[in-house]
C-alpha cells in the first residue's frame, strides 16, 4: 500500500474502525483545504451542486446537526433535515421502512444519528446512498474523532508519538471509541481514565492504556480530552455523587499543570462545568474547545466531498 | 520525445512575459499574480521575482486551487475524486488587475473554473491570463493575454511542463498519450 490514499474505499463512513492511516490522512488533508473555504467572503463552493443530502437525526443534537448542515450548504448540496419528533417514526414506522422511503427520493448521502449501536450499518446495507454515521448509540462517532485529530494536528503538527489523555465516561462514549481507534491507528499513545464502573470490558483491546488515576493519565500529556458525564444514561449507581466525581476526576488547573506546558484542553461538548471540567480550565488559554467546533465544519465538508465521488466498486486506483 | 523548451528558454520566456505585463499595465501598481495549482504557482512566483527586479515593487502573489469548481467533479466513473489543496490569496482582489498564471492552456475548462473561483473572492477590475504553452483545442471561448509559446498539437499528444520547484528541473516536452483517447 502506498503512503498516500487518493480516495476512501467505501461508499459510507460508518466508523473509524476499518479506515487505514492513509485514508485518515486524506480526510485530514482535504479538511485543511476546506477550512480555507470557511474563511472566504463568499463561504460557498459548487462542488456538491445538484447532490441531495438528508440529515436524519433520531437523537437530539444541536452541534453535530448544525455542523453537518453548514458543511453541506458550503458545498452547495441540497439538504434537508428530518426532525424525528415531527416524522412518521412517532407513528410507528421502522428504521428500514423509513430508509426505503427516503431512498425512493434518491438522495446521494444520508447523515444519520441513532440511539442504537449499528443502526447506520443496517441503513448502509439497505440503501444505495452513502451513509455517514453522526453517532450511533455507544458505538462510534467518526466525524467527532476526525475533528479532534484535525485540531490536535493543527496545534501540534502531527499525531504520531503524542500522549493523549482521555478522561470521563468511557463506557457510554462513542466519542471515546472513535478517538481510541483513530489516535492509535495514527501512532499516538492514548491513556484512558475514568472510574472502574465506567470502563468498558476489554478496554485494553482498543490499544489504549487504562488507568483510574487521573494524575497518571494527564502527566506529560500533549492533549487532554474530557468526555461528558452522560447524566441521561446514568440509571445505575456508577459513582456516589457528581461532587465526588469532580473531586477524583474533575479537570482542575492543578491537574492540568501536570501535563506538558503547551498541552491543549479538549471537550466534544456539551460540557458539564463543575463535573468533568472546571470553568477556569474550559475557558483558559490552553482550551481549544471552540476550535474543535469550527474544525468540525471543515472535517465534515471533507468527508462529504470524498464520499460524494462514489463508491470504489471498480478496481482501486 | 521532442523538447519544446529547455530551462534556459523557459527563463527567457518568463522575462519577456514579465516585461509585457509591465508594458500593458503601465507599471505594476494595482497588479496581483495568482497561480493555478499545481504548476501555475511556481510560475507566478518566478514572474513576481522578475517583476521585482524590473520595477523594484513586490507584487502580491497567491495560489488558487480550482478542484471544487471543476465541471467534471462528480462524473468520476473513471478516477477518484481529485485531491483538494489549499487556496491562498492573502490580499483583497477587489479593484485589482489580476494576472492569472497557468502552465498549459488546452480546452479552457481549467481557466473557466479559475474565473468562477476568483469571482467568489471579490470583484477584480481586470483578469488577464498568462500561460507558458498554448496547445490549442479550445472548447470554450477563452484566450490568453500572454503566451510563452504556441504549440500546434494533436489530441493524442501530451504537453508536460516540468519545473525545478516541483519536478527537479525546467523542461517542456511533447509526448504521446499511452493507449487511445484522452
Residue B167 domain-assigned? no
- Does the structure show a pLDDT above 90 at A283? yes
Residue B182 domain-assigned? no
Q: Which structural domain, as residue segments, surrounds residue B52?
A: 7-154
Interface of B with A in 130-149 (CB under 8 A): none
User: What pLDDT sits at residue A234?
Assistant: 67
Q: Which of B81, B83, B86 sits opposite A36 (nearest CB)?
A: B86
- Does the structure show a pLDDT above 60 at A3? no
Note whether A45 contacts B68, CB cutoff 8 Å: yes
- Does the structure show a pLDDT above 80 at A317? no
User: What pLDDT sits at residue A281?
Assistant: 96
User: What pLDDT sits at residue A143?
Assistant: 98
- Please indicate if any CB of chain B lies within 8 Å of the CB of A306: yes
User: What pLDDT sits at residue A85?
Assistant: 66
**Residues of chain B with C-beta less than 8 angstroms from the C-beta of A40:** 120-121
- Does the structure show a pLDDT above 80 at A315? no
pLDDT tens string A167-220: 999 999 999 999 999 999 999 999 999 999 999 999 989 999 999 999 999 999
Residue B70 domain-assigned? yes
Q: How confident is the model at residue B125 (pLDDT cuts 50, 70, 90)?
A: very high
* φ and ψ of B178, to 5 deg: -80, 135
Helices A21-37 and A289-308: angle between axes, nearest 10 degrees: 110
Q: In what order do the strands lie in the sheet with B157-162?
A: B3-6, B171-176, B157-162
- Please indicate if any CB of chain A lies within 8 Å of the CB of B38: no
- Name the grid cell of A90: 412517532
pLDDT tens string A55-94: 999 888 889 999 999 999 999 999 999 877 666 666 677 8
From B125's Cα to the closest Cα of chain A, the distance in A is 17
Measured CA to CA, the distance from residue B131 to residue A98 in angstroms comes to 53
**CA separation, residue B177 to residues B44, B133, B153, B160 (Å):** 28, 18, 12, 11
Q: Which of B65, B74, B120 sits opposite A33 (nearest CB)?
A: B65
- Please indicate if any CB of chain A lies within 8 Å of the CB of B75: no
Within 10 Å of residue B24's Cβ, how many Cβ atoms? Answer: 12
**Global confidence as pTM:** 0.90
- Does the structure show a pLDDT above 90 at A32? yes
User: What pLDDT sits at residue B72?
Assistant: 80
Note whether B69 contacts A45, CB cutoff 8 Å: yes
From B122's Cα to the closest Cα of chain A, the distance in A is 8
Percent of chain B with pLDDT over 70: 94
Measured CA to CA, the distance from residue B129 to residue B111 in angstroms comes to 9
From A149's Cα to the closest Cα of chain B, the distance in A is 19
From A14's Cα to the closest Cα of chain B, the distance in A is 20
Note whether A310 contacts B76, CB cutoff 8 Å: yes
**CA separation, residue A171 to residues A59, A155, A163, A272, A303 (Å):** 19, 28, 21, 17, 27
Q: How confident is the model at residue A248 (pLDDT cuts 50, 70, 90)?
A: very high
- Does the structure show a pLDDT above 50 at B175? yes
Note whether B120 contacts A47, CB cutoff 8 Å: no
> In whole numbers, what is the pLDDT of chain A averaged over residues?
91
From B128's Cα to the closest Cα of chain A, the distance in A is 22
Measured CA to CA, the distance from residue B19 to residue A26 in angstroms comes to 41
Residue B177 domain-assigned? no
Average pLDDT, integer, range A149-165: 98
Interface of A with B in 29-58 (CB under 8 A): 29-30, 32-34, 36-37, 40-42, 44-48, 50-51
- Please indicate if any CB of chain B lies within 8 Å of the CB of A26: yes
E strand or H helix at B76? none
Q: Residue A281: CB partners within 8 Å, gap ≥ 6?
A: A251, A252, A253, A256, A265, A287
From A298's Cα to the closest Cα of chain B, the distance in A is 12
Note whether B74 contacts A308, CB cutoff 8 Å: yes
CB pairs under 8 A between A and B: 62
- Please indicate if any CB of chain A lies within 8 Å of the CB of B79: yes
> In whole numbers, what is the pLDDT of chain B averaged over residues?
92
User: What pLDDT sits at residue A100?
Assistant: 87
Q: What is the CATH number of the domain that holds B131?
A: 3.40.50.2020
Could you tell me which residues are beta bridge partners of residue B169? none
User: What pLDDT sits at residue B129?
Assistant: 98
Residue B56 domain-assigned? yes
Q: Residue B33: CB partners within 8 Å, gap ≥ 6?
A: B44, B47, B48, B51, B59, B60, B61, B62, B99, B101
Average pLDDT, integer, range B74-100: 83
- A228-235: list long-range contacts, CB under 8 Å, 24+ apart: A228/A168, A228/A169, A228/A173, A228/A267, A228/A268, A228/A269, A228/A270, A228/A271, A228/A272, A228/A276, A229/A168, A229/A169, A229/A272, A229/A275, A229/A276, A230/A169, A230/A172, A230/A173, A231/A272, A233/A169, A233/A172
ipTM exceeding 0.85? no
Average pLDDT, integer, range B20-27: 96
Residue B131 domain-assigned? yes
Residue B88 domain-assigned? yes
**Residues of chain A with C-beta less than 8 angstroms from the C-beta of B117:** 45
Q: Which of A42, A47, A50 sits opposite B68 (nearest CB)?
A: A47
**Residues of chain B with C-beta less than 8 angstroms from the C-beta of A308:** 74, 81
- Please indicate if any CB of chain A lies within 8 Å of the CB of B61: no
Within 10 Å of residue A160's Cβ, how many Cβ atoms? Answer: 12
User: How is residue B4 annotated by DSSP?
Assistant: E
- Does the structure show a pLDDT above 50 at B108? yes
User: What pLDDT sits at residue A71?
Assistant: 98
- Does the structure show a pLDDT above 90 at A232? no
**Residues of chain B with C-beta less than 8 angstroms from the C-beta of A37:** 68, 87
Residue B66 domain-assigned? yes
Q: Chain B interface, mutation test: which of A11, A38, A47, most B Cβ atoms within 10 Å?
A: A47
Q: How confident is the model at residue B179 (pLDDT cuts 50, 70, 90)?
A: low
pLDDT tens string A86-139: 666 666 778 888 888 888 999 999 999 999 999 999 999 989 999 999 999 999
Average pLDDT, integer, range A263-290: 94
The residue that leads in pLDDT, A92 or B104, is B104
Q: How confident is the model at residue B31 (pLDDT cuts 50, 70, 90)?
A: very high
Measured CA to CA, the distance from residue A73 to residue A53 in angstroms comes to 10
Percent of chain A with pLDDT over 90: 75
Which chain B residue is nearest to residue A10, measuring alpha carbons?
B80
Number of domains forming the structure of chain B: 1
Could you tell me if residue A62 is left (phi over 0), alpha (psi between -120 and 50 degrees) or otherwise beta? alpha
Measured CA to CA, the distance from residue A175 to residue A138 in angstroms comes to 9
Which chain B residue is nearest to residue A313, measuring alpha carbons?
B77
From B38's Cα to the closest Cα of chain A, the distance in A is 14
Amino acid at each position: 500500500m502506498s503512503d498516500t490514499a487518493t480516495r476512501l474505499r467505501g461508499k459510507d463512513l460508518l466508523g473509524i474502525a476499518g479506515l487505514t492511516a492513509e485514508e485518515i490522512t486524506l480526510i485530514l488533508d482535504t479538511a485543511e483545504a476546506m477550512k480555507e473555504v470557511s474563511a472566504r467572503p463568499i463561504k460557498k463552493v459548487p462542488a456538491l451542486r445538484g447532490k441531495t443530502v438528508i440529515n436524519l437525526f433520531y437523537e437530539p443534537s444541536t452541534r453535530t446537526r448544525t455542523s453537518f448542515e453548514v458543511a453541506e450548504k458550503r458545498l452547495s448540496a441540497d439538504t434537508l433535515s428530518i426532525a424525528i419528533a415531527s416524522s412518521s417514526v412517532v407513528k410507528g414506522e421502522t428504521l428500514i421502512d423509513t430508509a426505503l422511503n427516503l431512498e425512493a427520493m434518491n438522495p446521494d448521502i444520508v447523515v444519520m444519528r441513532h440511539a442504537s449501536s449499528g443502526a447506520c450499518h443496517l441503513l448502509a446495507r439497505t440503501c444505495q446512498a452513502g451513509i455517514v454515521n453522526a453517532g450511533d448509540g455507544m458505538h462510534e462517532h467518526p466525524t467527532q474523532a476526525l475533528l479532534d485529530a484535525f485540531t490536535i494536528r493543527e496545534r501540534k503538527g502531527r499525531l504520531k508519538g503524542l500522549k493523549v489523555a482521555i478522561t470521563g465516561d468511557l463506557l457510554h462514549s462513542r466519542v471515546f471509541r472513535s478517538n481510541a481507534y483513530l489516535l492509535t491507528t495514527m501512532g499516538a499513545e492514548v491513556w484512558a481514565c475514568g472510574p472502574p464502573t465506567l470502563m468498558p470490558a476489554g478496554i485494553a483491546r482498543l490499544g489504549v492504556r487504562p488507568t483510574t488515576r487521573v494524575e497518571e493519565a494527564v502527566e506529560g500529556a500533549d492533549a487532554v480530552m474530557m468526555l461528558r458525564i452522560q447524566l441521561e444514561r446514568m440509571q445505575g449507581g456508577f459513582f456516589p455523587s457528581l461532587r465526588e466525581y469532580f473531586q477524583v476526576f474533575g479537570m482542575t488547573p492543578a491537574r492540568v499543570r501536570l501535563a506538558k506546558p503547551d498541552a491543549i484542553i479538549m471537550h466534544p461538548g456539551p460540557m458539564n462545568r463543575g463535573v468533568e471540567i472546571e470553568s477556569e480550565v474550559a475557558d483558559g488559554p490552553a482550551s481549544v474547545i471552540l476550535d474543535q467546533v469550527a474544525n468540525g465544519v471543515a472535517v465534515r465538508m471533507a468527508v462529504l466531498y470524498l464520499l460524494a465521488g462514489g463508491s470504489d466498486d471498480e478496481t482501486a486506483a | 520525445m521532442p523538447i519544446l523548451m529547455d530551462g534556459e528558454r523557459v527563463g527567457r520566456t518568463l522575462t519577456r512575459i514579465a516585461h509585457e505585463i509591465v508594458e500593458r499595465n503601465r507599471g505594476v501598481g494595482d497588479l496581483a499574480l495568482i497561480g493555478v495549482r499545481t504548476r501555475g504557482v511556481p510560475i507566478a512566483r518566478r514572474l513576481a521575482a522578475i517583476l521585482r527586479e524590473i520595477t523594484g515593487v513586490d507584487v502580491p502573489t497567491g495560489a488558487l486551487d480550482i478542484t471544487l469548481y471543476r465541471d467534471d467533479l462528480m462524473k468520476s466513473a473513471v478516477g477518484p475524486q481529485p485531491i483538494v489543496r489549499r487556496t491562498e490569496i492573502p490580499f483583497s482582489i477587489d479593484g485589482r488587475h489580476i494576472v492569472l498564471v497557468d502552465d498549459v492552456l488546452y480546452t479552457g475548462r481549467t481557466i473557466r473554473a479559475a474565473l468562477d473561483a476568483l469571482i467568489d473572492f471579490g470583484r477584480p477590475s481586470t483578469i488577464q491570463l498568462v500561460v507558458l504553452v498554448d496547445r490549442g483545442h479550445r472548447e470554450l471561448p477563452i484566450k490568453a493575454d500572454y503566451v510563452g509559446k504556441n504549440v500546434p498539437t494533436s489530441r493524442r499528444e501530451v504537453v508536460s511542463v516540468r519545473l525545478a520547484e516541483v519536478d527537479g528541473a525546467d523542461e517542456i516536452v511533447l509526448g504521446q498519450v499511452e493507449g487511445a483517447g484522452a
